[in-house]
Amino acid sequence: MTEMISPDVFASVPDPDGRFGPYGGKFVAETLMSALADLELVYRDLSCDPDFQKEFDSDLAHYVGRPSPLYEASRMSDAIGGARIFLKREDLNHTGAHKVNNTIGQALLAKHMGKKRIIAETGAGQHGVASATVAARLGLECHVFMGAEDIKRQALNVYRMKLLGAEVIPVTSGSKTLKDAMNEALRDWVTYVDNTFYIIGTVAGPHPYPMLVRDFQSVIGREARRQSLAMTGKLPDALVACVGGGSNAIGLFHPFLGDEKVAMYGVEAGGHGVETGQHAAPLSAGTPGVLHGNRTYLMQDKNGQIMETHSVSAGLDYPGVGPEHSWLKDIGRVNYVAANDDEALTAFHHWTRTEGIMPALETAHALAYAEKLAADMTPDQHIIVNLSGRGDKDILTVAAIEGIEV
């Protein structure tokens, strides 16, 4: 940690230009600038409108099933013998991950703006499923852009989206993964900007997306804070969450940023190992640059070309990260670390067998790190891990890696 940071600082970002320190901003083609300005205005109005907040809260309670439980993983904590580990059970949300908190919020914005067509990009398919779900519920046309490589890895989620009535559009350019899906979604948005609302699935993209996605996801941390106080009488000593774009992590972290005694760990995808270059860990091993509408840490080569990433989990396979994370790294408020593919797979099995909770492979990165962290702490301390999603979607991937035919 660096010197003490005033809690007010965390409430002051982004500034009116969408900046988190030097990061964030609106680096997009001119055609989208007015759409972003419209969205910003609508969001500024609605975010302080009690009726909108009530509608959002009601949907979260009755459709998503919030609040999600905070669960003490006793058997795992006993086995480790260090800090007690609590899981924030976002996997129990409708559609099985934290993603839906944000899609509910953005779909309400789309409804208020009178947009009849929504588009989304997806990596693991969780955000695509969550978008297709809210589109079905509101009767909106939904198009989901997904890398051809990810379509192979996540066949179950692709079929779920189709069942929900969404069109899944394979993206065959570039590395055929999440970043290319986002390029294609931006191209679609430029073309159909008048009637289309782009539901970005993470805290990246141009302003105001990193801000509004953070705000919608912060329900995770607000609940966790109350639940921690109720269950343990104190705030947690540490928070752990996986970071791809970083929406589940910012959702958990944000309401605690001003609590200087709460340590925070964002776990990136180490892939085959950060030292091999085959990973998806821009905060651990990247440099600042501009991609997808914001300035942030990126995996890029010496000429500024975006590099292909590798992670066993499609949802973390992204060369950038939300700009607020870049800022939190630079000011030293959050520690960013990495867990590699093997560690995540080990944790996937370990937690499934020990707690009867099968985590998403993305989440397994956070769990892998939490085990190490807990071991270096004491039983009077406690850690909250964001259990951001369930692992059903990944069982075919795990089986394939282990040479098992399902």
Partner 1 sequence: MSRLTPCFEALRNSGRKAVIPYIVAGDPTVATTVPMLHSLVAAGANVLELGVPFSDPMSEGPVIQRGHERALDNDVSLSQVLDMVAEFRQEDQTTPVVIMGYANPVERMGYADFAAACAAAGVDGLITVDLPPEEVGPLNVELQKVAIDNIFLISPTTPAPRISTITANASGFIYYVAVKGVTGAGHLDSSDVSMHLDLIRAETTLPVCVGFGIKDAESATAVGAMADGVVVGSALIDTMAGALEAGGSLNDGVNKAVALLGSIRTGIDNM
Query: Could you list the residues that contact partner 1 (CB under 8 A)?
Result: 17, 25-35, 173-174, 179-180, 183, 186-187, 190-194, 287-293, 295, 298, 300, 302-306
**Residue 170 Cβ, how far from partner 1 at the closest point, in Å?**
14
Evaluate whether 112 touches 138 at the Cβ level (below 8 Å): no
Question: From the centroid of its chain, how far is CA 294?
Answer: 16
At residue 340, what is the residue type? N
Closer residue to partner 1 (CB): 32 or 240: 32
Cis, peptide link before residue 288, omega less than 30° from 0: no
Give the SS3 label for residue 361. helix
Closer residue to partner 1 (CB): 109 or 186: 186
**Residue 192 Cβ, how far from partner 1 at the closest point, in Å?**
8
Closer residue to partner 1 (CB): 69 or 174: 174
**Residue 180 Cβ, how far from partner 1 at the closest point, in Å?**
8
Task: Report the alpha-carbon distance of residue 110 to residue 390 in Å, rounded.
Answer: 27
Q: Residues 78, 360, 73, CA angle at the centre, nearest 5°?
A: 20
Closest CA to 205 of 18, 405, 400, 401: 18
Residue 31 burial class via C-beta count within 10 angstroms: exposed 0-12, middle 13-18, buried 19 and up: exposed
**Residue 105 Cβ, how far from partner 1 at the closest point, in Å?**
24
**Residue 196 Cβ, how far from partner 1 at the closest point, in Å?**
11
Task: Report the alpha-carbon distance of residue 102 to residue 246 in Å, rounded.
Answer: 13
How far from 229 is each of 141, 174, 236, 307, CA to CA, in Å?
42, 47, 8, 43
Closer residue to partner 1 (CB): 225 or 292: 292
DSSP label at residue 6? -
Give the alpha-carbon dihedral of 183, 193, 245, 6, to 10 degrees: 140
What phi and psi values does residue 382 have, to the nearest 5 degrees?
-140, 155
Closer residue to partner 1 (CB): 117 or 187: 187
Evaluate whether 19 touches 326 at the Cβ level (below 8 Å): no
The strand order across the sheet containing 23-27 reads: 19-20, 23-27, 293-298, 287-291
What phi and psi values does residue 139 have, to the nearest 5 degrees?
70, 35
**Residue 308 Cβ, how far from partner 1 at the closest point, in Å?**
9
DSSP 82-128: SSEEEEEEGGGSTTSBTHHHHHHHHHHHHHHHT--EEEEEESSSHHH
Closer residue to partner 1 (CB): 17 or 51: 17
Structure tokens belonging to residue 205: 């993209």
Closer residue to partner 1 (CB): 188 or 223: 188
Closer residue to partner 1 (CB): 9 or 290: 290
Give the SS3 label for residue 399. helix
Question: From the centroid of its chain, how far is CA 172?
Answer: 24
Any idea which residues carry the catalytic annotation? 99, 121, 388
